[in-house]
Amino acid sequence: MDFDDTREEAAFRAEVRQWLGAHAEPKRGAFETWQSRYPGREGWDGLERAQAFQRSKAEAGFAALHWPAEWGGRALPPIYQVIYSQEESRFLVPRGYFEIGLGMCMPTLFAYASEDQKRRYAPAALRGDEVWCQLFSEPGAGSDLAGLRTRAVRDGEDWVINGQKIWTSGAHWADWAILVARSDPKTAKHKGLSFFFLSMKSPGIETRRIKQISGASHFNEVYFTDARIPDGQRLGAVGAGWGVAITTLMNERLTSGDLRGPDFEEIFGLARATQLEDGPAIANAAVRERLADLYVKTQGVRLTRFRTMTALSRGETPGPENSIGKLVNAPKAQEIASFAMDLLDMGGVIMDKDVAPLRAAFQDSLLSTPGGRIAAGTDEILRNIIAERVLGLPQDVRVDRDLPFDQLPS
């Protein structure tokens, strides 16, 4: 056992470090993000700078390490992506612009699109010239995605789309999108779906920002009113859209479970710096017990990731243990925020950045962490996934599986 890179990995890490040192800026604070440095008009300033960074990243060959060389990748094993991400996390780099396009949309195109289409779209996505989004969730179809209702009706050589999508990250700046819609409501719900890609500039598409409880807007609603998609932009057979959507979701990057906000280090620092009624918080037995619990979880997730990396480094398939990261980290982040505020007592409510510790990072986190427990698989869905895929337990009884979709109660 050791934590060392192999010789090849170490050489790659050095190459990444050197490139990032020359092309990326260091973070000014632990929680600084690309969007907080370059807010601009609804993130547009940030987007343009992000595209410039992405272009140089693609030219240096770091933008899609595991892609085949013909699409601009290096065909490297996944461990190299982990190493790149580790090094990149020390720098202020764009987040949230290209991950969906490169991590989910392009792999789906690689599996289902024509050669001409791959040549047309993959290089532009890789260089950041075109940004993609994913139109899956709906107001009535979240965890149960196959219950979606957006209609796709065939009309000559086109499909006509009507309905509403929600929780679409980046829809307001995306050029292209992948979409799953219901092409046949008379058949069972998983069998009546078809999968497309379309230009977000098409007529009949309206994007509205969603304001979250934190006041920030990371997501959109997207409305379709007679939007048209050429049949040539259908991916997979008519009615086989669920299988294509599964391909997309399988390519969803291993949710790293990385916290963007305060973690153990910050709550530990706060406990050492804060006085309670009976002395320093760090000396209080109840506080110490909770700190120990949080440390064990934090280390547990971090070390579990090392186990996953080890499997990748050995060229093996990682074990199922990598599925626990987000399920542990998301509720933990919420607990850290709330626990920190408790330590500050009545003053814990203060969100004034000049008064609250860490410029109100804990208070910000209280309002952003509920989303972490819902996005990319709720805590409950993640437990189902562990139960079914890791422990091999049966699926819940599904009363809607074989009924025609239009006869389901709603």
Partner 1 sequence: MNFDFSADQKSLREQARKFLGEHASSTRVRRILEGAAPYDVDLWKGMGEMGWMGTAIPETHGGAGFGYLELCVIAEELGRSLAPTPFASTIYLAAEALQIAGTAAQKKRWLPRIAQGEAIGCLALSEGPRVTTPATLATRADGARLTGAKVPVMDGDVADFAIVLAAREDRRADLYLVDLGGPGVTRKSLATVDPTRSHARIALDGAAAEPLGAAGQGWPLVERLLDRAAVLVAFEQIGGAQAALDMAREYALGRFAFGRQIASFQAIKHKLADMYVGIELARSNAYYGAWALSKDAPELGVAAAAARVAASEAYYQAAKENIQVHGGMGFTWEFDCHLHYRRAKLTGLMLGSARRWKDLLVTRLEAGAA
Active site residues: 252
CB of 31 to partner 1, least distance (A): 20
**410 interacts with partner 1 by CB under 8 A:** no
Q: Which of 85, 387, 400, 403 binds partner 1 (CB under 8 A)?
A: 387
Site track 305-334 with partner 1 (rule: CB under 8 A), x = hit: -xx-xxx-xx------x--x--xx------
Residue 193: CB atoms within 10 A of its CB come to 27
C-alpha 385/C-alpha 380 separation (Å) is 9
Take residue 125 and report the two structure tokens written for it: 């996505």
**256 interacts with partner 1 by CB under 8 A:** no
Q: Count Cα atoms within 13 angstroms, Cβ side, for 402.
A: 1
User: Could you tell me the end-to-end alpha-carbon distance of the chain, in angstroms, rounded to an integer?
Assistant: 54
Residue closer to partner 1 by CB (options 162, 255) is 255
Residue closer to partner 1 by CB (options 154, 314) is 314
Residue closer to partner 1 by CB (options 189, 297) is 297
One DSSP character per residue, 290-328 reads HHHHHHHHHHHHHHHHHHHHHHHHTTPPP-GGGGGHHHH
CB of 7 to partner 1, least distance (A): 13
Residue 53's contacts (CB-CB under 8 Å, 6 or more residues apart) are 23, 24, 93, 94, 128
**295 interacts with partner 1 by CB under 8 A:** yes
CA 97-102-108 angle, 5° bins: 130
Residue closer to partner 1 by CB (options 146, 309) is 309
CA 356-361-364 angle, 5° bins: 105
C-alpha 289/C-alpha 285 separation (Å) is 6
Alpha carbon separation from 116 to 16, 119, 232, 359 (Å, rounded): 32, 5, 11, 51
CB of 329 to partner 1, least distance (A): 11
Three-class DSSP category at 283: helix
**30 interacts with partner 1 by CB under 8 A:** no
Interacting span for partner 1 (CB under 8 A) from 4-12, 92-100, 102-110, 222-230: 4-12
Residue closer to partner 1 by CB (options 52, 393) is 393
Alpha carbon separation from 333 to 89, 293, 359, 386 (Å, rounded): 18, 13, 17, 21
One DSSP character per residue, 111-124 reads HHS-HHHHHHHHHH
Q: Name the packing angle between helices 325-343 and 285-313 (round to 10°).
A: 150
Q: Which of 392, 399, 409, 410 binds partner 1 (CB under 8 A)?
A: 392
Interacting span for partner 1 (CB under 8 A) from 111-119, 198-206, 347-355, 391-399: 391-399
**292 interacts with partner 1 by CB under 8 A:** yes
Residue closer to partner 1 by CB (options 31, 295) is 295
Residue closer to partner 1 by CB (options 185, 269) is 269
Residue 357's contacts (CB-CB under 8 Å, 6 or more residues apart) are 270, 273, 274, 340, 344
**395 interacts with partner 1 by CB under 8 A:** yes
Q: Which of 142, 300, 370, 404 binds partner 1 (CB under 8 A)?
A: 300
CB of 327 to partner 1, least distance (A): 6
Q: Which of residues 261-280 bind partner 1 (CB under 8 A)?
A: 268, 272
CB of 399 to partner 1, least distance (A): 12
Interacting span for partner 1 (CB under 8 A) from 120-128, 145-153, 204-212, 383-391: 383-391
CA-wise closest residue to 219 among 257, 174, 161: 174
Do the strands 176-182 and 219-230 form a parallel or antiparallel pair, or are they unpaired? Answer: unpaired
Q: Which of 296, 349, 355, 408 binds partner 1 (CB under 8 A)?
A: 296
Q: Which of 156, 203, 394, 409 binds partner 1 (CB under 8 A)?
A: 394
Do the strands 275-276 and 219-230 form a parallel or antiparallel pair, or are they unpaired? Answer: unpaired
Take residue 134 and report the two structure tokens written for it: 């994913």
Interacting span for partner 1 (CB under 8 A) from 47-55, 162-170, 253-261, 380-388: 380-388
Residues that bind partner 1 (CB under 8 A): 1-5, 9, 79, 268, 272, 282, 285, 288-289, 291-293, 295-297, 299-304, 306-307, 309-311, 313-314, 321, 324, 327-328, 380, 382-384, 386-388, 390-397
